[in-house]
Amino acid sequence: MAIRGLWLISHEKGGIGVVRFSRRYPTVEKRAKAFNGDSYVTIPEDDLFLPALLTELGLTDPDKNFVEYRDSCSRINKTSVYALPVGEGNLWPVLAIPNKDLVYVCVPLVEQSMNPLPPLITISGISEAFTFLAGLMGFINSGQKNETDLCAKVAQLPVLLTQACPLGSPTDSNLQGLLDSNMGGPGNQIQKQPAWKTSKYKGKAQVKVCISEKVKCMQYDKRDITDMWQVHGTVTCKCDLEEAMPHVIVSLNLPANGSPLQDILVHPCVASLDSAVLTSSSVDLTDDSAFSGPYKFPFTPPLDWFNLCYYTSQVPVPPILGFYQLQEEELKLKITVNLKLHESVKNGFEYCEARIPFFNRGSITHFEHKLSYGQLEVLREKGVLVWVIGQKFPKSLEISLTGTVIFGSMSHLQQPSNPICTGNTAYVKLYFRIPDYTLSGCYTDQHSVQVFSSAKPKIITSRELISSDYYIWNSKASAPVVYRSPFL
Amino acid sequence: MVAGNGADWGRRITSFRFSPRRFLSNEGTKEFVEELLQDLKSEKVTEQRKISTLTLFLEFPLLLCPDAESGEQTAEILLDMFSQTPNSAKFLTLKCHLLLAIETLLISTDSFKEDVKAAQELLSLLMQLASDLNDKKQGEALRPLRITACEGLRELESCYPGLLSQKLELLYSMRQQEMTAAHQSYTLLYSVALKNAVQLLAQRGAPTDGALKEMISRNEGFLWHAAENTRGGLSVTGEQFLLLPANGGTKELKSILSLLLEDLYLLTSVSQSSLLWQLIQVVAIIRTLSPVIFKSQLVRLFGTMDISLFHSILQMKGLFTDSLFTAEDESFLLKRLVGMTQHPLLSTPVKLFYIDCLLHFPENRPLNSNTEENLPVLLSVQMTASLFPTVFHDNSTMLSRQNLLSLVYLENEGPETERGMGYLSEHIMSLHAIVLYNTNREFTATFFRTVFLFVRYFNFSETLMEDMIQKILELYRKNAALAPYLINLINQTHKLLNVPSWSIALSKALQSLIVELPFQRLAPPMLHWHLKVLARIAKENAISQNSSIQLLLNIALCTDLCSSGDWKTGNAILSVCKSILRHQQLDAIFAILADLLQYLLLHFEDIDIQERARFYYMLLANLSKDKLTTILSMTSTVGQSKTKTLSSIMSEDENFSSLMTIHATEQPVLQLRRLNDEVCALPVYTGLLSEEFTTGCCLKEYYEQFANSPAPSALTLQYLLAFTNNVRPQDHKLFCIELQFEQSDSSYEPIQVINVPCLFIERQPEVVSLTLEPRLPCPTALSVTATYSTEDGATYQSQLQPLKISFCDIFLPLPLLTAWPLKAQCQLFEELWQSFQPDTADLYAESLFCFSLSQQSLSDFVHNAFARFVVSSHSDVYKIGIFLLPKFHMLMQMKVLDDTASIRIRTDNWEVLPHLSSYLKERIARQ
C-alpha cells in the first residue's frame, strides 16, 4: 500500500497543461521494480508524463472533429484509472481525477505482476490513492478560488506532504488539518490520543449539529412517464470540546409514520453502529425493515466540521408539484407554469424562485405575462425568466404564470445553448431553501445529543431543506427521462 | 553559494524538475550536486531553500547520485549536517527532510548494507530517535521528528523485509507505551514488521510450535540479510506460504491482534486501512488463526463512507470468503456495494470504482476465476433497477452503467429484463436525439461508444440491431460529417463479433443511402465524406459494388466534377476504385469500373488523377485478381518492396535482384545487315506546282519544291536485324528489342529508336528501317545498342557492331516533281550544271577527277558506282546527277579519253568533295 508518484496538473481549454506540483517516491519505485518484475514500467519524467496524460484523458486537439486515438468507439473508459503509453509500455494504474481546472493524478503501487492486468479491487493501494487525492482536493478547494490563492496553497504542499506522506505510505489525508495543527497534547496522558486530532480547542464548549437535506426532482406531467424525486441528507457536526477524547452520541429521529432513512454511510470516527441502522436500503424495492429510528451514532469527534453521516430517503410527495406547458405559435412561445406547494410542507422559505430558460433561440425582446403571485424579472441577454416567489406561497398554495415570449435576432456567439434542450424540450428549474425543515421529517434536538464531557456544552441543532436539480419539464414536448423502473 | 537570486534559482529548480535528464546533460551532474551540497552547508541560504534542495535528493536520488559510492558519500555529508544542526523547533522541518533524504539516497543507490558505515549510522540514529517515547527527552516540539523516524523505519522494513523481525518485542512495547498521537506511526511500524516476520517464518517452512511465540517476544539485533534468501519482494498474491501452528501457539499473537484492532478507531482512515491490510495478511498466512477476529469491525466497516475502509472489507471478503462472511453477509455486502454505486453523496470517480468492484466481486462460490468482468451470481435484475444511465450523467458513468446492465440482462430472462432492455434502447435514443440536433463532440463520441457496447452485447436480437442501423442512418442523412465515426464503428464492430454480420448490414444500408442521394447532396465537401464511406464499404467483398460505381460514373458524367478538376475529389473517387480493385471480385463490375476509370483518365482536369486512373485502368485490364491485390496491398511500404513485388510478379521468381538490373553482354548478339534494296523508298515531294513542264521555269520550280513542301528531308535505309553467330541458347528468343543509335557527330538529326517486338533465331530476321535526316551530307558511323529481354525475364543490353553509313548510302536521284516527265531530268541536269558556276556562290565548287580506266570498263564502272543516278549516257559521256539531303547536289560528267577517265564534278557544297573522292577511290580499288 504505497504511492509511486503524485501530480497536480492545471489544464486550460486548448490542450496546454502545466505541472503545478509533482512528488515522486523513489523507494516505492524500487519496490515496484521487485513486485512487478517484467511488467514494470518506469514513471517517465514530467516532460513526457504530462503530454501522455493529457492525450489519454482526451484533452488535446479540442478543435479536431475526429481523432482516432481519442474518439474511437472501442475506447471505453469505465473508471478513472488510465493506462498511459510511455516508452516501453503502458504505465498503469494512473488514477486521474479532474476537478474544476485541475487534474489530480496519483500512481499507486501494485504489489503483484501486472501481466495480465489485475482487477482494481485486488490492488490494495488504489483506495488509498483515492482517499489521498480527495484530501488533496479538499485542501486545494478550501479558501478563495483565484490564482494567487492556488499558488500559495501549492507552495505549502511540499512541506505538508512530508508530514502526510513522507516516504510514499500516506499516514493522513486531511492536509488542511495538518496545516492548522498545533501538536495535540502533551505526552503523559493515561489514554491514547487519536492520531487525527491535530490540535486542541480552548474555549466555550459547544456542539453543533446540522441536518441538510437536498431534494432532487424531475416532473413530467405525462401519463406514461413517472415523475421522480429523491431526498438525500447530510448530517454535519462540529464539536468544540476541550477534552482530548470526548464521546458524543447524536440520535436522529423520525416522526411517526416517517419513511426510514436509507443508505446510511457514517464517518470513520463513529466507533460502533447498530446493524439495524444499515438494513434499510434503496436497492430493495420494498422496504421490509421495521426500524425507523432513532438512529444513534456514537463517535469521538475530530476538531473541525465533519460529515457525520449521509442518508437517503423516499418521501411520498415532492414539496412543490407543478406543470409547465410551452407551445410554439408562429414565432412566439406561449408558456404556462403552475406550481403548488404540498400542504404537508412548511410554508416558510428563505428564498424561492423559478427560473425559466430558453435555449437556442436568442435574446428575449418582449414578454407579455399574467402572474398570479410573486414578481417577474426578465434577463434578456441570457434568455431567462426569473419568477421570484418570495418567502411564502399564498393561502391557496397554488400559483401560476402564463405569458407569451418573443425573441429577437440570434447572434450565434452569445446565444445560450444546451444540447439537451432542442426544439420544444424545455424546463423550469426551482431554487428554494426552507430553514428548520426536512422533507423526511428527520430531526435532532438538545435531548437527542448526549455529550460525555466534564463541561456542559451548549447544543445547537439546525436543519434545512434545499432544492438541488429540481426540474419541471415541458409536458407538450419530449423530455429526457431519468428514472425508470422495470418493476412499476 | 550559488549565484542568482531566489526567482532565478526557483526557475532552475523548476526546469530541473520538469526534465531532469536534459538539465543534467546541459549542466553536468557532479557540478550540480556540488552546487546543491554547498548550498546546504552555507549559512546564508534560507532554510526554505535548503528544504527545496533536499527535496531534490528525495525525489531524484539516482539521477543525482548515479552509483553506490556517490550515494554513500552524499549520505555521509547529510548525516554530518544532521548531527550539526541544533535540536530546536526552528530546524525541525530541515532535520526531518535530512533524515528522509539520507534514507532515500541509501535505499535507492543500493547502499543500505551492513558494511556501509552510513547505513549503520542511519539505522542507529532512527532507532535512537524513535526510542524517545512520549516526548520525554526532546519535548513536544520535536515530536514530528520522532514520527518521521518511525516512518523511516517502516519504509526500511518494507524495502528490506525482515530487517526488524528480531526486534518485535521492542517495537511492541514502544507501541504500547506511546500515548501521544505518535502512537499511530509505532502501530503501523509494528504491523509491517510483524507481517514480514510471519511471512519470513512461513517461507522458511515447518516451524516448531513455539516459533511464533518466540518470534513475537524476541529482542535482538537487526537482520540485515533477511530478504536475501527469499525471492526479492514478498508478494501478496502468488504462492502463499502457510503456517499451521497448534492452537496454543497463537494465543499471544491473537491477543496482540485484538489489542491492535481495538485501537483502530484512533488512527486516521488511511492508516486504519493500511493496518487492516497488514493484519489481514498475517491472519491469511496463519491458518489456525481465525478471521473471526475481524468480526467486531465488520458492522462499522459495512456502514463506512470512507473508500479505503470499505475497500478493506472487500479485501477481507476476497481473502477469507466464507470463513468470515456467511451467505447472508455476502448478500448484504453486495447490496451495500450496489447502494454505493448509486449513492447521490459519493463522488463520480468513487462510484465508478465501485461499479468495477461489483464486476470483480469476490464471491464465496464463484463460477469462474478469471480476471475479467464477471457478474456476481447474487446480482439480480431487481438490485440494479435504479442503475439506468441517463443523458444527465457524465460519459463514463453512462457507459459503465450500460455495460453493467447489459451483463445483467444477458444473464437473466423475464418481463423485467425485456422492459429493462427497452429502457436501455430508449436511453440510446435520447442520446441519438441530442446528436441529431447538435455537433457536440463529446455527446457524439459517447453515442457511438454506446452503440458499440449495445452491439457487442445484444447482437443476437435482429430487431434491436435493425433499429440501431436505422437510427444511425438517420444521423448520417442529416450530417454526413459523422462519416469518420461511422467508419470507425464499422471497423471496430467488424473486429468484435465472430460473424461480422452487423457491420456488413450497416455498410449495405449506408451504401443504399448514399447511392440514392440526389445530386445536390453530392457536392463537395459532403461528397468527400460520402466517398470515404464508400471506400470503406468497398472493402467488404460480401457487398456488391455495382451501385457504388454506377453512382461515381453518374456524378463523373453528369456533374462538373471532372471539369472542375479538384484534386481532393478525384483522389477520393480513386480511393473508392482502389478499394474495389483490391477487395472485390471484379468479374461482375469489370465493364462499369473500366468505363469509370477510362472516363476519368480522359476527362478529369488534373494530371495526377489522370495518371493514377490510367494506372488503375491498366492494372484492371491486364492483371489477374491475385496480382492486383498484391500490388495494391503494398501501399504503405516504401517503394523498394513495391518494385520488388512487381518484378517478381512478372516472372514469378523470387530472385528479384537479378531481375532488377540490366545486364550487359560481352559479345554482340545481334547485327544489322544492309539490305540492298534496289527499289528503296524515295522521298516524295508533293508540290502544288503546274502540271505542265516548260523549260523556262524548270529550275525555279525545282527549287520551290523544297521551300514549299512540308516533306521530311529524310531517307530510309533498310537493314536486316539478325543474330550473330554463337548465340547462347537463352538468347534464342528475344523480346521487346529496342535499338538505340548514337552518332559521333551532329551531322544527322538524332535518330529515333527502333522497336522490334520479338526476334527468334529460328525465324526470319526482321527488317528494320533506319530513317536518317542529314543536316550535312557526309558519311558517319553510328554506335548501336540493343536492349532486350530474354525468355527468363532478364534484361540485357548488347552493343552491336558500329553501323557505317557510307557516302554512297545517302545518294539519292534528283528529285523530280511528280508531274514532270522523265526527260525533264536531262533538262534539269543542264540547268543545274549551268547554275553551279563556282563564282556565283561560296559553296559552289568544280572539280576534276582522273584515273586510269579503259573504254570498255567505263559502263561497268558507272553502273557499279552510280547505277540509279545516270541522267543521260550518249556519245560515251555519262551525266550523273546525285541529290544529297538536305538540299545539295553533285553533278558529274564522265568520259574516257586515252584510257583515262575524267570526271568533271560540279556541286553546290564543296564539303562533299573529299567524301566523293574517297568514294571514287574506293570504287576504283574495287575494280
Q: Does A122 share its domain with A22?
A: yes
Q: How many whole angstroms separate alpha carbon B728 and alpha carbon B9?
A: 83
Interface of A with B in 231-260 (CB under 8 A): 232, 234
Asked whether the beta carbons of B468 and B429 are under 8 A apart, the reply is no
Residue B825 — very low, low, confident or very high, per pLDDT cuts 50/70/90?
confident
* Phi and psi at residue A40, to the nearest 5°: -70, 135
Interface of A with B in 3-22 (CB under 8 A): 19, 22
**Can you give the pLDDT at residue A280?**
87
Instruction: Judge: domain B662-805, CATH 2.60.40.
Output: yes
Q: Which residue has the higher pLDDT, A339 or B631?
A: A339
DSSP code per residue over B10-62: HHHHHHHHH-HHHHHHHH-HHHHHHHHHHHHH-SSS-HHHHHHHHHHHHH-HH
Tell whether A477 lies on the interface with B, counting CB pairs under 8 A.
no
pLDDT surpassing 50 at residue B551: yes
**Residue B752 distance to chain A (closest CA, Å):** 55
Per residue in A210-243, pLDDT (tens digit) is: 999 999 999 999 988 889 999 999 999 999 988 8
**Residue B317 distance to chain A (closest CA, Å):** 11
**Residue B346 distance to chain A (closest CA, Å):** 9
A266: domain CATH number is 2.60.40.1170
Q: Which of B58, B184, B347 is the closest to A195 by Cβ?
A: B184
Q: Which of A26, A196, A268 is the closest to B309 by Cβ?
A: A268
Contact: B266, A195; criterion CB under 8 Å = yes
Residue of B nearest to A277 (CA): B303
**Interface pTM (ipTM) of the complex?**
0.95
H-helix or E-strand containing A288? Answer: none
Q: Which of A73, A127, A167 is the closest to B452 by Cβ?
A: A73
B180 contacts on A by Cβ (under 8 Å): 184-187, 189, 193
Question: What integer is the mean pLDDT of A133-157?
Answer: 89
Q: Does A22 share its domain with A68?
A: yes
**Can you give the pLDDT at residue B241?**
65
Tell whether A170 lies on the interface with B, counting CB pairs under 8 A.
yes
Residue B247 — very low, low, confident or very high, per pLDDT cuts 50/70/90?
low
Per residue in B514-528, pLDDT (tens digit) is: 989 888 888 878 889
Q: Does A146 share its domain with A228?
A: no
Please tell me the least confidently modeled range out of A475-484, B228-237, B552-561, B906-915.
B228-237
pLDDT surpassing 90 at residue B731: no
Question: What integer is the mean pLDDT of B234-245?
Answer: 57
A238 to A466, B54, B305, B649, B925: CA distances (angstroms): 21, 39, 18, 85, 136
Per residue in A61-113, pLDDT (tens digit) is: 777 888 888 889 888 989 999 999 988 889 999 999 999 889 999 999 999 88
Question: What integer is the mean pLDDT of B860-871?
Answer: 81
pLDDT surpassing 60 at residue B690: no
Contact: B485, A66; criterion CB under 8 Å = yes
**Can you give the pLDDT at residue A488?**
46
**Residue B640 distance to chain A (closest CA, Å):** 29
Per residue in B182-220, pLDDT (tens digit) is: 999 999 999 999 999 988 888 877 666 677 777 777 777
Residue A161 — very low, low, confident or very high, per pLDDT cuts 50/70/90?
very high
Per residue in A167-213, pLDDT (tens digit) is: 999 999 888 888 777 555 555 567 777 888 777 788 889 999 999 99
Question: What integer is the mean pLDDT of A369-378?
Answer: 91
Q: Which of A78, A118, A281 is the closest to B371 by Cβ?
A: A118
**A277 CB-near residues (< 8 Å, 6+ apart):** A264, A291, A295, A296, B303
A278 contacts on B by Cβ (under 8 Å): 299, 302-303, 336
**Can you give the pLDDT at residue B688?**
42
Residue of B nearest to A159 (CA): B93
B326 contacts on A by Cβ (under 8 Å): none
Total of domains in chain A: 3
**Residue A335 distance to chain B (closest CA, Å):** 23
Q: Which residue has the cell 523530280?
A: B816
Choosing from A416, A436, A456, the residue where a domain stops is: A436
**Residue B308 distance to chain A (closest CA, Å):** 5
Q: Does A233 share its domain with A352?
A: no
Residue B652 — very low, low, confident or very high, per pLDDT cuts 50/70/90?
very low
Q: Does A313 share its domain with A333?
A: no
Q: How many whole angstroms separate alpha carbon A70 and alpha carbon B718?
A: 72
B795-799/B662-664 β-pairing: parallel
**Alpha helices per DSSP H over B286-394:** 295-302, 307-320, 327-341, 348-359
Does any domain span residue A183? no
Q: Does A146 share its domain with A287?
A: no
Q: Does A54 share its domain with A134?
A: yes
Per residue in A22-46, pLDDT (tens digit) is: 999 999 999 999 999 889 999 999 9
Looking at every residue in chain B, the average pLDDT score rounds to: 84
Question: What integer is the mean pLDDT of B619-630?
Answer: 81
Q: Does A383 share its domain with A243?
A: no
**Residue B665 distance to chain A (closest CA, Å):** 53
Residue A436 — very low, low, confident or very high, per pLDDT cuts 50/70/90?
very high
Does any domain span residue A194? no
Q: Which of A26, A77, A79 is the closest to B61 by Cβ?
A: A26
A31: domain CATH number is 3.30.450
B385 contacts on A by Cβ (under 8 Å): 285, 485-487
**Can you give the pLDDT at residue B698?**
65
Contact: B100, A310; criterion CB under 8 Å = no
| Residue B702: DSSP 8-state | H
**Residue B303 distance to chain A (closest CA, Å):** 5
Starting at the edge strand found earlier in the chain, the sheet holding B715-723 runs: B670-674, B715-723, B766-772
Give the domain range for residue A360. Answer: 320-436
Please tell me the least confidently modeled range out of A386-395, B156-165, B465-474, B786-795.
B786-795
Highest mean pLDDT among A288-297, A349-358, B735-744, B899-908: A349-358
A–B: how many Cβ contacts below 8 A?
377
A412 contacts on B by Cβ (under 8 Å): none
Q: Does A367 share its domain with A266?
A: no
Closest to A81 (Cα-Cα) out of A63, A105, A60: A105
Q: Best mutation site among B345, B496, B506 for testing chain A: the one with the most A CBs within 10 Å?
A: B345
Q: How many CB atoms lie within 10 A of CB A100?
A: 12
**Can you give the pLDDT at residue B673?**
84
B402 contacts on A by Cβ (under 8 Å): none
Residue B103 — very low, low, confident or very high, per pLDDT cuts 50/70/90?
very high
pLDDT surpassing 80 at residue B1: no
Q: What are the cell numbers at B616?
A: 488503375
Residue B691 — very low, low, confident or very high, per pLDDT cuts 50/70/90?
very low
Q: Which of B96, B312, B382 is the closest to A285 by Cβ?
A: B382
B811-813/B877-884 β-pairing: antiparallel
**Can you give the pLDDT at residue A69?**
85
Q: Which of A31, A310, A422 is the closest to B233 by Cβ?
A: A31
Does any domain span residue A383? yes
**Can you give the pLDDT at residue A261?**
92
Q: How many whole angstroms separate alpha carbon B647 and alpha carbon B659?
A: 7
Q: Which of B107, B179, B355 is the closest to A27 by Cβ?
A: B107
A256 to A209, A316, B347: CA distances (angstroms): 22, 14, 33
Residue A352 — very low, low, confident or very high, per pLDDT cuts 50/70/90?
very high
**CA-angle at A208, arms to A202 and A209, nearest 5°:** 150
**Residue A146 distance to chain B (closest CA, Å):** 22
Q: Does A173 share its domain with A210?
A: no
Percentage of chain B beyond pLDDT 70 is: 89
Closest to A233 (Cα-Cα) out of A488, A462, A471, A479: A462
pLDDT surpassing 80 at residue B430: yes
Contact: B270, A171; criterion CB under 8 Å = yes
- Look at the domain B810-926 and name its fold: TATA-Binding Protein (3.30.310)
Contact: A171, B449; criterion CB under 8 Å = no
Per residue in B258-304, pLDDT (tens digit) is: 999 998 988 999 999 999 999 999 998 888 888 899 988 888 889 99
Q: Does A280 share its domain with A337?
A: no
Question: What integer is the mean pLDDT of B88-93?
Answer: 88
pLDDT surpassing 80 at residue B622: yes
